[in-house]
Amino acid sequence: MFEKLRLYGHALIIEAVKKWRDRVFSLCLCALVVKIKKQVLIQNRALQEILLLPLHFYNLKIDNWHFMSELIKHECGIALIRLLKPLEYYVSKYGTGFYGLNKMHLMMQKQHNRGQDGAGIANIKLDISPGEKYISRFRSGSSTPIVDTFNHIYSRFQDLEKTRPDLLGDVNWLKKNMDFTGELFLGHLRYGTFGGHGVENLHPVLRENNWITRNLVLAGNFNMTNVDELFDKLVELGQFPVQTSDTITILEKIGHFLDEENEVLYQKFKKEGLTKIEISEKIAIHLDIQKIIINSVKGWDGGYAIAGMVGHGDAFVMRDPSGIRPAFYYVDDEIAVAASERPVLQTTFNIKASDVKEVQPGHVLIIKKDGRIQEAPFDEPRVRKACSFERIYFSRGTDKDIYKERKLLGKFLTPAVLQAINHDIHNTVFSYIPNTAAVAFKGLVEEVNVFCNQIKSDRIIELGTNVTAERLSEILAFSPRVEDIAVKDVKLRTFISKDSGRNDLVGHVYDITYGVIREGVDNLVVIDDSIVRGTTLRQSIIRILDRLEPKKIVIASSAPQIRYPDCYGIDMAKIGDFVAFKAAIELLKETGQESVINEVYKKSKAQVDLPKEEVVNYVKDIFRPFTPQQISSKIAEIVTPPGINAKVEVIYQTIEDLHAALPNHTGDWYFTGNYPTAGGNKVVNKAFINFVEKKDVRAY
């Protein structure tokens, strides 16, 4: 019911819900008075359980749609579908000759959060005769890439519908004459952290060959820290690469060993006296995908989830040995599918969470052309370091585990928030900024309610039988004040990045709710999912919140302080951009410890030519002299612009509580500097050198 109301969002409906909620609260209050008047023995715990009922209704809120306060470009999305039955089967059961294409469309749409810089799709037709096209591909880098991609593909079928609608159900004719009508699909959504935004930078990428079993199509969510090393390896193999990007490097590395496997099998079957046509058929059957991947990944350093297709119909999905990047799959007798997020598969195919499996770190899911499926190891598994930022922000919060985890992140912030407002619930308003922080906000409010219930239950028990409805109503009214404070307006584009009036424009990006803050009396607590650079806080959010004239503004981040660059697919590559790093540098200067900066620089420079396996993260020494609280206090100073009347305090999640909330996703290198691969230390070392030498470039 409430989800439907959320969708309609009509003011009259919302007001009706609030009145209904208040009526339920009144009924609960009356029942409670009756019980106490009858001298029913009410224990403290039982009383709190009774108190929770009306509070559940007060927690029901029609949320506005917000945007993350600081946009971080990140993780791409992948989607793979293999139809395991003849195409006629899907027409008979589902009434469409486009079952696979339609499902791919839905899977990509459900992952639009993972990439808005571009989208692409490739399709392979199985058992096609020589001379017929069997690989189709289309990519779009427009502002609406998913829409444009599928509009382009569907337009051909719409034209056919006008002239020969009867052919739309003839899957054999479609497969022979139309693109994107095969059995194997690979889709990709791009959030570019590096490189251009042209179509040539979009996945899927294709390595073509006249031998069907040597054609390779790849799409991935990955970033390699040692592209230069991998490029040199290709040169050692005798190749002459024309690009140095990790995408092309990975494509050519896998392609090399795909060629090598083809050659080995060719020579083997040639010795057995088979004809060349027979050899091609044998290669398709015996091609060892696991062996190809094992040989290809040697020397790789990074985080990755990569999906691929071979021209004849084999497919695979591989995940890095540390499990940094996510990948999930589902298999039944009709389909084998994979995606970057679990809810995508649940929604698209109407299955339960328990039906979806996770590709294990260091393993590759192999789908052979003949329908055989296995998950096989390709590298020794390492300590699992699944990216915690996936859970905090990147992935959709509709995943059952992510939802619980984000609520815990909010819950664990509660003690620090209560301390920041001196436990003054009565004079505090609670809110949040981005939609991705909404779930953490619920966890925070629920825990504040627990605190309030403890106080209420104590006060009610103190009343004994001297209870009145008025007094009880007064006690029960003690609960957190939850309001929608800031709503992001349309996306602002100033076109002139250094114009003197730009900050004023940015300061008006958000609309605020006037009249809910008592000027000079109320504290205002706002939860965000992360604070990376602090620029949006300083240029916009703090300014607009201060217009409400609160006594104090508390910004609470459900993520810990971001101190170190990422090198596995998140656009956080320059250490000098991070407000936590800036705070530590300022503190070192203020406390007369600038020598620490120089010492870390000398140690970092001394490691430049060392193998990545020998590099140490000395940048940790920059933060070592200070407590997290000291750095948070300095961050509050940095993000507070001139002319702000309210006192500003910034609170961050602790590392300990992060791990308690996300026990299965311990990848925390951007918070702790503990990188899961040796290449991470090499990157942070370079990033610090760039900072000291004032080079505004990426570290990898």
Q: What is the mean pLDDT of residues 62-77?
A: 49
Pairing of strands 523-528, 428-432: parallel
Instruction: Select, from the ranges 32-36, 149-153, 226-230, 395-399, the one with the highest average predicted confidence (pLDDT).
Output: 149-153
Residue 479 located in a structural domain: yes
pLDDT tens string 512-530:
888 999 999 999 999 999 9
Q: Is the pLDDT of residue 418 over 50?
A: yes
Residue 503: pLDDT band by 50, 70, 90 thresholds?
low
Q: What are the tens digits of pLDDT across the range 675-685?
A: 999 999 999 99
In this predicted structure, the answer to whether residue 19 has a pLDDT above a threshold of 60 is no
- Tell whether 245 and 149 lie within a shared domain: yes
Q: Rounded to an integer, what distance in angstroms lies between the CA atom of residue 118 and that of residue 189?
A: 6
Q: How many helices (H) and strands (E) does the chain have?
A: 26, 20
> Alpha carbon of 293 to those of 169, 306, 309, 365, 692: distances in Å?
38, 11, 13, 11, 40
CA distance 607 to 613: 11
- Model pLDDT, residue 434: 72
Per-residue pLDDT, 42: 44
Which tokens sit at 132? 């017929």
Q: Contact at 8 Å (CB) between 607 and 615?
A: yes
The pLDDT tens digits of the residues spanning 623-645 come to 999 999 999 999 999 999 999 99
Confidence of residue 190 (pLDDT cuts 50, 70, 90): confident
Domain interval for residue 87: 77-384
* 534, 581 contact by CB (below 8 A): no
Report the pLDDT averaged over residues 374-397: 92
Domain end residue (candidates: 329, 357, 384): 384
d(CA 176, CA 155): 18
379 and 399 belong to one structural domain: no
Question: Could you tell me if 158 and 196 lie in one domain?
Answer: yes
Same domain, 511 and 648: yes
Reported as a pLDDT band with limits 50, 70 and 90, residue 191 is confident
Collapsed DSSP state (helix, strand, coil) of residue 337: strand
| Residue 152 is assigned to a structural domain of this protein | yes
Q: Averaged over 209-221, what is the pLDDT?
A: 96
Q: Using H for helix, E for strand and C for coil, what is the string for 410-457?
A: HHHHHHHHHHHCCCCCCCEEEEECCHHHHHHHHHHHHHHHHHHHHHHH
Same domain, 372 and 401: no
Are residue 356 and residue 429 in the same domain, yes or no? no
User: What is the structure's pLDDT at 507?
Assistant: 53
pLDDT number for residue 550: 98
At residue 45 the predicted structure's pLDDT band, cuts being 50, 70 and 90, is very low
At a CB cut-off of 8 Å and minimum separation 6, what does 389 contact? Answer: 74, 530, 559, 566, 570, 667, 670
**Is residue 202 in a domain?**
yes
The mean pLDDT value of the chain amounts to 87
Question: Count of CB atoms within 10 A of residue 573's CB?
Answer: 20
Helices 246-271 and 227-236: crossing angle in degrees, nearest 10, is: 30
Closest by alpha carbon to 305, among 231, 221, 423? 221
* Number of residues that make up the chain: 700
Is the Cβ–Cβ distance between 257 and 295 less than 8 Å?
yes
CATH of residue 104:
3.60.20.10
Per the listing, tokens 């006192």 go with 647
Q: Is the pLDDT of residue 508 over 90?
A: no
Q: What is the greatest pairwise CA distance in the chain?
A: 101
In a domain, 362, yes or no: yes
- Predicted confidence at residue 238, as pLDDT, reads 78
Q: What is the predicted pLDDT for the residue at 200?
A: 79
- In this structure, the answer to whether residues 45 and 177 fall within a common structural domain is no
Q: Any idea what the CATH number is for the domain that residue 635 is in?
A: 3.40.50.2020
**For strand 647-652 and strand 523-528, is the pairing parallel, antiparallel, or unpaired?**
unpaired
**Same domain? 232 vs 368:** yes
Q: Which of 574, 609, 566, 590 is nearest to 690 (CA)?
A: 574
Q: What is the pLDDT of residues 424-433, one digit of tens each?
A: 999 999 999 8
> Does residue 24 share a domain with residue 100?
no
- Please tell me the predicted confidence (pLDDT) of residue 154: 96
Calculate mean pLDDT across residues 386-396.
Answer: 90
Residue 567 lies in a domain: yes
DSSP state, 38? Answer: T
Give a yes or no: residue 67 inside a domain: no
Query: What per-residue confidence (pLDDT) applies to 14?
Result: 39
Q: Can you say whether the dihedral through the CA atoms of 404, 410, 413, 419 is positive or negative?
A: negative
Residue 697: strand, helix, or coil = coil
CA distance 134 to 128: 6
Quick one: 353 and 418 in the same domain? no
Following DSSP, what letter does each residue of 46-67 receive, concatenated?
HHHHHHHHHHHHHT---PPP--
Please name every residue paired with 205 in a beta bridge, in sequence order, or none if there are none.
Answer: 218
More confident residue, 573 or 665: 665
The CB density around residue 259, as the number of other CB atoms within 10 Å, is 17
Per-residue pLDDT for 52 more than 60?
Answer: no
Question: By percentage, how much of the chain surpasses pLDDT 70?
Answer: 85
| In a shared domain, residues 106 and 248 | yes
Whether residue 359 lies inside any domain: the answer is: yes
Q: How many CB atoms lie within 10 A of CB 205?
A: 23
Tell me the pLDDT band of 36, cut-offs 50, 70 and 90. Answer: very low
Asked if 284 and 349 sit in the same domain, the reply is yes
Total domains in the fold of the chain = 3
Residue 217 lies in a domain: yes
**Tell me, what's the pLDDT at 570?**
83
pLDDT at 688 over 50: yes
Q: pLDDT tens-digit profile of 432-467?
A: 987 789 999 999 999 999 999 999 999 999 988 888
